[in-house]
Amino acid sequence: MDLIGAIDVRCSRRKYTSDLIDSNKVIHLENLIEKINKKANLHLQLILKDGKAFENIRKSYGMFSGVQNYIALVGKNDKLLREKVGYYGEKIVLEATTMNLGTCWVGGSFDKEACSAEIEDNEILVGVITIGNVSKNLSIKEKLIFKAIHRKSKKVEEMCETKGEVPEWFKDGMMAVKKAPSAINKQPVRFYFENSTVTAVVKGDNEYEQIDLGIAKLHFQIGAKGGKWQWGNGAQFTKEV
C-alpha cells in the first residue's frame, strides 16, 4: 500500500487490541520519527506500553479503549509548530496505515499530566496520536463517531475556489484533502487556484486550525503526486513538473 492508498482507507480508530506492535514496525516508526525530528526541528516521540494518559475517563470522556501506545507531538513553541505537527504527524499516520496499524489524532481528550513524553523548558505538548493494533471492523462506538463526524463532511466545491481551467492534479489533490482528518472536525482549510498557483488558508488563528492546515497540505501534496509547500497560512504550493 502506498500513501495514496493509505489516504483512501485511513479512518480514526479509538479501540485498540492488547497485541504489541510488531518490533519491525516499531523500528520503522522510530526511524521515521528520527528523520522528521532532524528535518523539521521537532521533538516527536513514540511512547510504547504506557496508557496512563488515557486511564482517566474524565479526561478522555470514555472515547478511547485499550490505548497503550501513542506519538507525543512535542516541539519548540513558535508560530509554525502546530502546522508542522499537523503535516509531519499525518505523515506518520499514513505510514502507520500502510502497516495496518490504527491511529487517531487527539487534541485535548487525554490526561496531559500523565503523558510520559520528555518536554524541555522551551517546548510544549501540542497533542498526541494514538497508535496500535486494531480489529478489522469498527466497534459500535467507533461506527457511531464515524457517522457523526462524516455527516458534517464538506464537498470538494466547498473547500476550494478556482479561476480558469483547473488541472487534474489540483482535482486529485482536493480529493485527498476531502479525506483528511480534521482536529476540530470542521475541515477549515480553504484552497485557492489561480494562474497555476495554489494557496491554502485558514481564516482563524485557532491552534487546532493550524494543525488542520498542516494535515490538509500534506494530503494535497500526496494527492497531486508531488510538489512542495511553503510554510505558513496562505503560503504557496509549487507543483513538480
Q: Domain of 54?
A: 3-144
Per-residue pLDDT at 223 exceeds 60: yes
Flag whether 203 is in a domain. yes
What the block records as the C-alpha cell of 85 is: 505537527
pLDDT of residue 91 exceeding 60: yes
Mark whether 125 and 33 lie in a shared domain. Answer: yes
Judge if 137 and 203 occupy the same domain. no
**Listed residues 121, 144, 167: the one ending a domain:** 144
For residue 67, give the nearest of 102, 94, 43 by alpha carbon.
Answer: 102
Give me the residues paired with residue 72 across strands: 45, 128
pLDDT at 100: 98
How large is the average pLDDT for residues 212-225? 98
Strands 190-194, 160-162: pairing kind: parallel
CA 199 – CA 85 distance, rounded (Å): 19
Q: Give strand pairing partners of 46.
A: 71
Report yes or no on 78 lying in a domain.
yes
H helix intervals, the chain: 3-9, 23-40, 57-60, 81-98, 140-150, 156-159, 168-178, 207-223
* Domain annotation covers residue 149: no
Q: Is residue 84 part of a domain?
A: yes
136/51 same-domain check: yes
163 touches 97 (CB < 8 A): no
Domain identity same for 163 and 132: no
One domain, residues 105 and 192? no
Our measurement of the distance from residue 219's CA atom to the centroid of its chain's CA atoms, rounded to an integer in Å, reads 9
Nearest to 208 by CA among 93, 126, 152, 94: 126
- Starting from the edge strand earliest in sequence, which strands make up the sheet with 190-194, in order? 160-162, 190-194, 197-201, 236-238, 228-229
Average pLDDT over residues 109-116: 92
Is 80 domain-assigned?
A: yes
What's this model's pTM, rounded to 2 decimal places?
Answer: 0.94
Tell me, what CATH number does 163's domain have?
Answer: 3.40.109.30
Q: Are residues 124 and 208 in the same domain?
A: no
The domain tally of the chain equals 2
> Of 30-39, 135-144, 191-200, where does mean pLDDT reach its minimum?
135-144
In a domain, 151, yes or no: no
CA–CA dist 87, 135 (Å, integer):
27
Residue 60, pLDDT > 70, answer no
- As a whole number, the mean pLDDT across the chain is 93
Q: What percent of the chain has pLDDT over 90?
A: 80
Q: How far apart are CA 77 and CA 81, in angstroms?
A: 6
Domain boundary among 94, 113, 144: 144
CATH number, domain containing residue 131:
3.40.109.10
Per-residue pLDDT at 138? 84
Residue ending a domain, among 90, 115, 144, is 144
Alpha-carbon dihedral angle through residues 35, 95, 214, 89, given to the nearest 10 degrees: -60
**pLDDT: which is higher, 134 or 59:** 134
CA nearest to 17, candidates 139, 144, 117: 139
So what's the pLDDT on residue 217? 99
Q: Are residues 130 and 187 in the same domain?
A: no
Which residues, 6+ apart, have CB-to-CB distance to 205 below 8 Å? none
- Residue 112 and residue 170 in one domain: no
Q: Is the pLDDT of residue 149 over 80?
A: no
The verdict on 67 and 185 lying in the same domain is: no
- Would 150 be classed as within a structural domain? no
Report which of residues 43 and 136 the model is more confident about: 43
Domain shared by 26 and 66, yes or no: yes
Assigned domain for 208 exists: yes
Q: Tell me 15's DSSP state.
A: B
Q: What is the pLDDT of residue 62?
A: 66
Residues 40 and 75 in one domain: yes
Length of the chain: 241
CA-only gyration radius of the chain, Å: 17
Measured in whole angstroms, the distance separating CA 241 from the mean position of its chain's CA atoms is 27
Same domain, 23 and 91: yes
